[in-house]
Structure 1
Amino acid sequence: MTDSSSQPLKYTVTHYRQPEHTHEEFINWIVEVHLPLALPVLKKHGVLEYSLFETPAAVNEAAKQEMGKFRPDWDFADFDCFLEYTLPSVETIKNVLSDPDWVVAVQDQDEWVDMGRALVSLGYSTPYLLKTGEIVNLKK
């Protein structure tokens, strides 16, 4: 296991779209409207990585049907996307949120995002299997 004090933080936010928008419209708004304004602010404050994990209903429903055969008691998330930020510190979140350019980047989010249903998490991510197939971070 790695020392978490030396690791960057993972900050995640799940988002549900407002019901008057389709999933496709919602993701398009994030990628075409929000991100061009947001990414420069994230870079300015030292955010190390950002990724958008899209969760279309059709894919989730198919997984639920298949996985439900093996794990019938599991719940399947029904949010539209999962945002993942890699940060050098908790202070980074405060710096981004208080930046006037961030206010501009999220100015129309209430039209698109059901903010009352957002779920935030903060912690550490430790890889154990890399894309290369290498197993890491286990005691030998």
Structure 2
Amino acid sequence: MSETTGTPPVKFTITHHRQPQHTHEAFIDWIVNEHLPLAIPVFEKYGVIDYSLFVTPPPLNDGLKQEIGGLRPTWDFAECDCFIEYTLPSVETIKNIMSDPEWQVAVKDQDQWVDVPRALVSLGYSTTYFRHGKALSISK
């Protein structure tokens, strides 16, 4: 639960596609080595609980589509370069971060690297039911 509101933390996710002039590897390198060092102080400032970068290399996605696509022909396979996942104390944290001048510095090169209009954003709650080979949060 969030200490300030008594509500559970929220999960905020966003997909990113790289600009076509960059390789997948260069794009991920930009996020990790240029963007994140500027972003992390902002995360700390607003009490971000967790941040993870789920990297989706094209060869893995293409292989998955070839292997599983025939078994699940109605599935769409994500073609983004990564999913960014935040666990936040509240929905307000999103607005606070995005309006912070330090965040504007952290995303200053974003349009050169990210195909921003293709981003897919979602907001909700996350419950872990299975971790490290064991069931969790399941009533019998």
Query: Runs (4+) of structure 1 moved beyond 6 Å?
Result: none
Question: Which structure 2 residues correspond to residues 88-103 of structure 1 after superposition, within 5 A?
Answer: 88-103=89-104
Contiguous gaps of at least 5 residues in structure 2: 1-5
Q: Alignment partner of 1:70: what SS?
A: coil
1:14 aligned partner, one-letter code: T
Aligned positions, number:
135
Aligned-residue CA RMSD (Å): 1.0
* TM-score, scaled to structure 1: 0.93
1:88 aligned partner, one-letter code: P
1:25-48 C-alpha deviation (Å, 9 max, x unpaired): 100000010000001101110100
User: Which residue does the alignment assign to 2:61?
Assistant: 60
User: Which residue does the alignment assign to 2:76?
Assistant: 75
User: Which residue does the alignment assign to 2:134?
Assistant: 134
Shift of 1:73: 1.8
Shift of 1:134: 1.9
Moved more, 34-43 or 62-71: 62-71
* TM-score, scaled to structure 2: 0.93
Structure having the larger proportion of residues in helix: 1
Question: Which structure 2 residues correspond to residues 112-123 of structure 1 after superposition, within 5 A?
Answer: 112-123=113-124
Moved more, 46-55 or 65-74: 65-74
